[in-house]
Amino acid sequence: MITSWGRGPNIESVREVDRRLKLCKNPEKVIGSKAYLARKQEEDRKVEEKRNKKVGLQKEKDGPDPFGIELSQRRGLVDYDDDEDEDDC
Protein backbone atom coordinates (compact mmCIF):
# COMPACT_ATOMS: atom_id res chain seq x y z
CA MET A 1 0.00 0.00 0.00
CA ILE A 2 2.81 2.38 0.86
CA THR A 3 4.54 1.98 -2.49
CA SER A 4 1.34 2.33 -4.50
CA TRP A 5 -0.30 5.23 -2.58
CA GLY A 6 2.63 6.85 -0.83
CA ARG A 7 4.87 9.59 -2.19
CA GLY A 8 8.61 10.02 -1.73
CA PRO A 9 9.86 12.89 0.39
CA ASN A 10 10.59 16.26 -1.13
CA ILE A 11 14.28 16.27 -2.06
CA GLU A 12 14.76 19.90 -1.10
CA SER A 13 13.34 19.35 2.41
CA VAL A 14 15.64 16.35 2.87
CA ARG A 15 18.64 18.47 1.88
CA GLU A 16 17.61 21.21 4.32
CA VAL A 17 17.38 18.71 7.18
CA ASP A 18 20.76 17.30 6.20
CA ARG A 19 22.34 20.79 6.30
CA ARG A 20 20.90 21.43 9.75
CA LEU A 21 22.17 18.11 11.07
CA LYS A 22 25.68 18.87 9.84
CA LEU A 23 25.64 22.11 11.83
CA CYS A 24 24.55 20.29 14.99
CA LYS A 25 27.28 17.65 15.01
CA ASN A 26 29.42 17.26 18.09
CA PRO A 27 32.93 18.37 17.02
CA GLU A 28 34.48 15.80 19.35
CA LYS A 29 32.99 13.06 17.18
CA VAL A 30 34.04 14.48 13.81
CA ILE A 31 37.23 12.67 12.83
CA GLY A 32 40.08 15.07 12.14
CA SER A 33 38.68 18.07 14.02
CA LYS A 34 40.78 19.76 16.70
CA ALA A 35 38.33 18.76 19.42
CA TYR A 36 38.45 15.12 18.28
CA LEU A 37 42.25 15.08 18.24
CA ALA A 38 42.43 16.69 21.69
CA ARG A 39 39.99 14.14 23.12
CA LYS A 40 41.90 11.27 21.50
CA GLN A 41 45.20 12.56 22.89
CA GLU A 42 43.67 12.81 26.39
CA GLU A 43 42.35 9.24 26.15
CA ASP A 44 45.76 7.98 25.00
CA ARG A 45 47.44 9.78 27.90
CA LYS A 46 45.05 8.16 30.40
CA VAL A 47 45.62 4.71 28.91
CA GLU A 48 49.39 5.21 29.11
CA GLU A 49 49.14 6.30 32.76
CA LYS A 50 47.07 3.21 33.57
CA ARG A 51 49.57 0.96 31.79
CA ASN A 52 52.53 2.52 33.63
CA LYS A 53 50.73 2.25 36.95
CA LYS A 54 49.89 -1.40 36.32
CA VAL A 55 53.49 -2.21 35.37
CA GLY A 56 54.76 -0.42 38.49
CA LEU A 57 52.34 -2.32 40.73
CA GLN A 58 53.29 -5.61 39.08
CA LYS A 59 57.00 -4.97 39.68
CA GLU A 60 56.34 -4.10 43.33
CA LYS A 61 54.23 -7.23 43.74
CA ASP A 62 56.82 -9.53 42.17
CA GLY A 63 59.68 -8.13 44.23
CA PRO A 64 63.29 -8.83 43.38
CA ASP A 65 64.15 -11.59 40.95
CA PRO A 66 64.45 -14.84 42.98
CA PHE A 67 67.22 -16.12 40.67
CA GLY A 68 69.37 -13.06 40.99
CA ILE A 69 70.42 -10.47 38.48
CA GLU A 70 73.04 -12.65 36.78
CA LEU A 71 70.61 -15.30 35.59
CA SER A 72 67.90 -12.88 34.61
CA GLN A 73 70.28 -10.97 32.35
CA ARG A 74 71.75 -14.06 30.64
CA ARG A 75 70.26 -15.24 27.39
CA GLY A 76 70.47 -18.61 25.68
CA LEU A 77 71.09 -20.89 28.67
CA VAL A 78 69.39 -23.86 27.01
CA ASP A 79 70.37 -25.33 23.65
CA TYR A 80 67.13 -26.54 22.10
CA ASP A 81 68.80 -27.60 18.85
CA ASP A 82 70.62 -30.51 20.42
CA ASP A 83 70.25 -33.25 17.78
CA GLU A 84 72.59 -35.74 19.47
CA ASP A 85 69.81 -37.17 21.66
CA GLU A 86 67.68 -38.37 18.76
CA ASP A 87 67.34 -42.11 18.33
CA ASP A 88 68.24 -43.62 14.93
CA CYS A 89 65.32 -45.83 13.96
- Supply the DSSP string of 31-81, one letter for each residue: TTSHHHHHHHHHHHHHHHHHHHHHHHHHHHHH-S-TTHHHHHH----S-TT
For 20-76, the pLDDT digits (tens) are 888 788 888 888 889 999 999 999 999 999 998 888 777 777 666 666 666 656 565
Q: List the domain boundaries for the chain.
A: 31-60
pLDDT score of 67 = 65
For 75-84, the pLDDT digits (tens) are 655 556 656 6
pLDDT score of 29 = 85
